[in-house]
Amino acid sequence: MDKASIGGLAMGIGLLLLAIAIAPGSSFAAFIDYPSAAVVLGGAASALAIAFPLRSLFQLPKVVKKVFSPKSMELVPVISLLVSFAEVARRDGILALESKTDEIEDPFILLGIQMAVDGTDIELMEKILRSDINAVSSRHKTGKLLLDTLGRYAPAFGMIGTLMGLIIMLGNMDDPDAIGPGMAVALITTLYGAIVSNLFCLPFADKLGFYSKRELEVREVILQGLLAIQEGDNPRVLEQKLKTYLPTDVRDKLEQAA
């Protein structure tokens, strides 16, 4: 569970509600307008449906879920696992890794170990694993693009709703008492669009981009480790090679612990 995403979202919503509550002469009822919400949310959803195929839209709930429950591996355990595999291959031969396949939970690592055990040519092995990484990157980009696109459309439909409200208000200029409330309702639509974009869609997209970058970095480390195991590299050399992907402070802590 990503505590930062949950905490940031709760803080953003809380600050908005607090600002409304303590503002002089303000009330929560003044900020609630269902037609405005329908224009922003419905309009943005309709534009998204035009921009993307239906199968991509069905992935949106899963994409949003990843913001709060990411499934990403940490580098240090991955490096330790790959070094242990290299030690087994060095001591007992590459075929001994076949007994370890039942213990591997990550499909990417499992694919690489199975190809290494089968004696797959190292260039073909790298090509297949690299294709898998590219496919994951493409899926991540599509998910991020969905939220980025929503973040662009929501403020635009907020402005459209405001213009609609202004047109309605200007059509009733014979009633001066209705001008103020009409202007307020018109501006609420812009507010809704800005909130949907800047508190939800765009921050969610940026968080997905961060997790995607980190997952691809981990997969690159796994790829280099699997290729080294296939080539029969010394486990200690492999460990030092993979540790170069770690931040300096983490690397220093590991060396001190060792």
Is the same domain home to 180 and 83? yes
The span from the CA of 126 to the CA of 223, in Å, is 7
Task: Answer yes or no: is pLDDT of 144 > 80.
Answer: yes
Which pair of tokens denotes residue 19?
């600002």
Q: What is the mean pLDDT of residues 200-229?
A: 92
Give the predicted TM-score (pTM) of the model.
0.85
Do 88 and 131 sit in the same domain of this protein? yes
pLDDT by residue (tens digit) across 78-135? 888 898 889 988 888 888 888 888 888 888 999 999 998 888 888 999 999 999 999 9
Let me know if 104 is exposed, middle or buried by CB neighbors in 10 A (0-12, 13-18, 19+): middle
Together in a domain, 18 and 85: no
Average of per-residue pLDDT values in the chain:
87
Is the domain of 207 the same as that of 135?
A: yes
Q: Range with the lowest mean pLDDT among 62-66, 145-149, 154-158?
A: 62-66
List the domain range (segments joined by +) for residue 9: 1-32
Task: Tell me: do 42 and 2 sit in the same domain.
Answer: no
Residues in the chain: 258
pLDDT digits (tens, 9 = 90+) for 220-241: 999 999 998 888 888 888 888 8
pLDDT of residue 71: 79
Q: Specify whether 25 is located in the same domain as 100.
A: no
| Contacts of residue 119, Cβ cutoff 8 Å, sequence gap at least 6 | 94
Examine the domain organization and report whether 116 and 222 are in the same domain.
Answer: yes
What local confidence, expressed as pLDDT, does residue 199 receive?
A: 93
Clarify whether residues 51 and 115 are in a common domain: yes
3-class secondary-structure state, position 172: coil
Same domain, 143 and 24: no
Same domain for 117 and 21? no
Q: Is the pLDDT of residue 243 over 80?
A: yes
Distance CA 199, CA 15 (A): 11
The percent of residues in the chain predicted with pLDDT above 70, rounded, is 94
Kindly state whether residues 176 and 89 are assigned to the same domain. Answer: yes
20 and 132 co-located in one domain: no
